[in-house]
Chain A
Amino acid sequence: MSKQKALENYSFIFPSFLLTMVLGIYPILWAIHYMFYDYKGYGEKLFIGLSNFKRLWYDELFWNSVWNTLIYAGGKIVITIPISLILAVILNRKIRGHNLLRAIYFMPTVISTAVISVVFFIIFNSYNGLLNQFLQKLGIISSSVEWLGPKYAMLTVIIVAIWGAIGNYMLLFLAGLQSIPEDLYESASIDGANAVHKFWYVTVPMLGPVMQMIILLAITISLKGYESIMVLTEGGPIGKTDVMFLYVYKLLFPVSTGSVYIQEIGYGSAVGFATAIIVGLVTCVYFILSKKMNKIY
């Protein structure tokens, strides 16, 4: 490689690399070295080697959270991605009101989670929730459904997640669609393709790399998502909606609404590390399975 090229390569990478290492990686390493210790946030930390991991292995709360996370992420992605894609495709054309509709779908992302959770509680609560009132008026259900109860909490939480995510992914897909040259569609029309054909044979393949990235993003974000769950159900009731990152958060930052959990930085870091490994594994699997999305033909 010529010196000129090498200079270009590394200088373009440099800012990113520097910032990532110093402010990204180093703090993570620093924070995570706690996982070999028993550290409650004060005093000396006791080196306990792999004990935290042994405890993790038998921790039913942890495995419960893993399972919940997979269901949550799976449910959210399976519904959000297709809907977002379809919306993007429809709104990509200059149909009437498409700008207004785009803005509408974008709105959820503009409101902070703390605020919107109050509204969702008003909608979903089983005492006088708006949803129950509505469904009962229509005669669809006869008595209140406990949307935030043990049976349906996960479903509710997934619905809220979908609500917040559709706009996001729609925008990403829109941007991706914009980079598909019009000529391709024109030549397809000339060849006699109808809308559905155009979708399958032009849009989808051309979207390949962008779609791969978008789904990757969706997977990592969904597996890590916990804020909206935290404010809506706090992982309850009885851990039914406890996801991995929420479990980690509660270990590191005890919720002090009168209930005292003890801050466990050592064990919390270990759980955080295990969580990262799981997310990494899922992502790797995804990468392997989606290799073919990368080729544009």
Chain B
Amino acid sequence: MKRSHSMLLLAIILLMVLSACSSGNTNKQTNESDSNSERSGKNQQASSGEKTKLVYWTFDRHDADFIKETVDRYNASNEDNIHVEVKSMAENYAQSVDIAFASGQSPDILRPNQDTMIPFMKKEYLEPLDSYLTDEMKQKFEATFQDQVNQFDGKIYSLPNFGYTLRLVYNVELFEKAGIEKPPASLDELVDAAKKITDVGKADGQYGFALNFKSPKSALDRSAREILQLSGYDGFGFDHKTAKFDFTPYKEVIEAFKQMKDDGSMLPGVESLDIDPLRAQFAEGKIGMYLSYSAEAGVYSSQFPAKIEWAATLAPTITGEIKGTSGFANSGQWLAISSQSKYKEEAWKFLSFMYSDETLQAYHEKGLGLSAVPTIASNAKAPELTGVDGFLISEYDALWPVPPAVTVEGLNYGDVFLKYILGGGDLDEAVSDLNQRYNSALDKATASGEIKVTPDASFDPIKLQGSMLAK
């Protein structure tokens, strides 16, 4: 009894001591954050010779070293007395940003991407850049301005840096082993190649094809997407000519995938396979082919050093004939300025440094991402990464108009198609059900004014060919 008494007393004393320590901290923190939230940074200015402090939040990890170096260089050399602090958020970037804005502690510089751009826009987090853009910059980035991507209501909110091309990634050694001369150019050849590779390789645990079906939509968005785009159809089921959803073009692609599954040419367990385990198996030489973004090149040089010879090439089309262009993905945005920032001018100065030719070119050449800016892409040397040459921007890559994002009720197309691939059923019915649900969601969103779509009868993806190469 006495013992528990004294233990409790001890605990309380400990707690008081701890609280004394951290209240000290708390007070310090409170002071700091008070002055920070005023954004006049008087303390900072007094102590570090009147430097303007900017906070820059990004979620990119693959370029962390490069960014840090670049920012350090900027801090040391810039003549505007600006000091930039870079922070890489682990996960939950969007959430962290939400919370920062809600408590008035937003960073000055943000890194929106294709998923967060529209929410950030609608929540009014971003400052329009038009007044800051010089004529020179306008010209440089002209080709990359896209509505609903980085341009809203005629105003520019972010500029692109890099993007990803999509390709068929394949194991050269397995192709040789199976006696296949060149990578497949049509769906039939794809199914065929997968089967051949599996036939000769199964005993060694090698299979012809795989995709990360643990996230079905993600898997299709990196595979069916560019197959459709090269064949002349939108990669997300949206028909730009009629401004309506139509998933019919998916049918042949999904049938081909199902055929490969039924043939046993797919790595067992694809439905629970995540992208990293897939990459690990590919690096081990267990997978013949898959489709993905140009980020794979970086992955196979450092994270999962490839033990086999691999290459990338244009994705197959439905019939073998190229009637469109492969989309250039995740490219429209990079840096943006916070609408809450008290130092927008200074932030822009930093941005123009980051968007300078030297920085962007170095980014591209180090293999951190393929430049989305035509002049940079054509002037820069090829990135120094094994296997990246198959990914380089060609005449068959282009920026597609963006389909509207709608709230669909029930299973999305990724889940619906995976269901068919695994278990069969009536594909026609599934497609018409998808069309009906997606279009009713579209109608709802248009009616409430949330989305605006206009049909473009003259849209033809063939016309986009060559648009990414500088004139």
Contacts and interface: CB of A to CB of B under 8 A. Distances in A.
A243 interface: no
Contacts of A148: 269, 271-272
Interface stretch (B9-17, B43-51, B140-148, B407-415): B407-415
A239 B422 contact: no
Interface in A234-280: 234, 236-239, 253-264
A61 interface: yes
A127 B115 contact: no
Interface residues of B, number: 43
B277 A125 contact: yes
B25 to A, nearest CB: 22
Nearest to B92: A253
B411 A259 contact: no
A258 B217 contact: yes
Interface in B408-456: 409-412, 414-415, 418-419, 422-423, 448
B448 A46 contact: yes
A46 B116 CA distance: 22
A256 B268 contact: no
B271 A149 contact: yes
A49 interface: no
B218 A259 contact: yes
Nearest to A258: B218
B195 interface: no
Contact of B415 (A127, A233, A238): A238
Contact of A239 (B95, B205, B214, B415): B415
B426 to A, nearest CB: 16
B269 A59 contact: no
Nearest to A256: B115
A150 B217 contact: no
Q: Is the interface of A mostly helix, strand, loop or mixed?
A: loop
Nearest to B278: A127
A59 B242 CA distance: 29
Interface string A117-140: 000010001111100000000000
Given A125-B269, A149-B272, A59 B214 contact: no
A202 B412 CA distance: 56
Nearest to A129: B269
Contact of B215 (A60, A234, A264): A234
B215 A258 contact: yes
Interface of B: 94-95, 98, 115-116, 119, 122-124, 205, 213-218, 221-222, 267-269, 271-275, 277, 281, 286, 405-407, 409-412, 414-415, 418-419, 422-423, 448
23 contacts: A42-B119, A43-B123, A59-B409, A121-B272, A125-B273, A126-B269, A127-B205, A127-B267, A127-B269, A127-B273, A128-B205, A144-B269, A146-B269, A149-B271, A149-B272, A236-B271, A237-B418, A238-B419, A254-B115, A258-B215, A258-B221, A259-B412, A260-B217
Interface of A: 40-43, 46, 55, 59-61, 121, 125-129, 144, 146, 148-150, 153, 233-234, 236-239, 253-264
